[in-house]
């Protein structure tokens, strides 16, 4: 049975998302914003975030996968391309967690091929423990040094996304 150690409360999450949404609203005023959530992990964060972005914007989704269990496989796949034409538009990639950075580096390269005017990254969690690729996270709610976290969209083998707070997951051996 896994152990769930509380890390970030639901209230703390909502306060940070409101702050980030307000900053994005200011930064993208008068721009052609498309908020692109990275499936599956970002869907809860994305839903809350876009409610705090008070300028006109569109929402799209892209799928990318590199994890199995608690480890990155090292193989990154685009599982769902964006639906919108992004050429000349301002893209904000929304991710649940930036960990190794490899997935986002690959996603940014993929998105650059769609010729947007700009690409920035917004992440619920910026985690540095296993960072392997240099990637700039423009907007981050929380920065963590270590741990395997679940809840609020973050999963372990597709489980625990539904938890309303963020927990450090300790697996029993």
Higher pLDDT, 25 or 74: 25
Q: Out of 48, 96, 99, 155, which one is annotated catalytic?
A: 99
Q: How far is CA 62 from CA 42, 80, 142, 172, in A?
A: 10, 5, 22, 33
> Which residues constitute the domain of residue 12?
3-170
99 in catalytic set = yes
Q: Can you tell me the distance from the alpha carbon of 152 to that of 57, in angstroms, rounded to the nearest whole number?
A: 23
Mean pLDDT of 82-104: 93
pLDDT in tens, 14-57: 999 999 999 999 999 999 999 999 998 899 999 999 999 999 99
Q: What is the predicted pLDDT for the residue at 68? A: 56
Mean pLDDT of 128-150: 89
- Burial tier of 51 (Cβ tally within 10 Å: 0-12, 13-18, 19+): exposed
pLDDT above 60 (res 69):
no
Mean pLDDT of 99-108: 88
Bond into 85 cis (ω within 30): no
Q: What is the predicted pLDDT for the residue at 149? A: 93
Q: What is the CATH number of the domain that holds 34?
A: 3.40.50.2020
Q: How many domains does the chain have?
A: 1
Residue 96 pLDDT class (50, 70, 90 cuts) = very high
Average pLDDT over all residues of the chain = 91
Percentage with pLDDT > 70 across the chain:
94
Residue 18 C-alpha from the chain's centroid: 15
Q: What is the predicted pLDDT for the residue at 72? A: 54
Indicate the pairing of strand 90-98 with strand 33-39.
parallel
pLDDT above 80 (res 115):
yes
- The answer to whether 48 and 100 have CB atoms below 8 angstroms apart is no
């Amino acid at each position: 049975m896994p152990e769930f150690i509380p890390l970030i409360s639901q209230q703390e999450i909502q306060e940070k998302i409101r702050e980030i949404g307000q900053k994005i609203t200011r930064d993208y005023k008068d721009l052609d914003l498309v908020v692109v959530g990275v499936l599956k992990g970002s869907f809860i964060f994305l839903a809350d975030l876009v409610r705090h972005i008070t300028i006109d914007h569109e929402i799209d989704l892209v799928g990318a996968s590199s994890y199995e269990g608690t480890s990155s496989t090292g193989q990154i796949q685009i599982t769902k391309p964006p639906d919108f034409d992004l050429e000349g538009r301002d893209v904000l990639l929304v991710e649940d967690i930036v960990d190794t950075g490899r997935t986002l580096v690959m996603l940014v390269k993929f998105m650059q091929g769609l010729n947007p005017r700009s690409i920035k990254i917004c992440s619920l969690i910026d985690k540095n423990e296993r960072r392997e690729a240099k990637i700039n996270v423009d907007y981050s709610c929380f920065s963590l040094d270590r741990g395997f976290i679940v809840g609020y969209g973050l999963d372990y083998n597709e489980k625990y996304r539904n938890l309303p707070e963020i927990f450090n997951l300790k697996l029993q051996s």
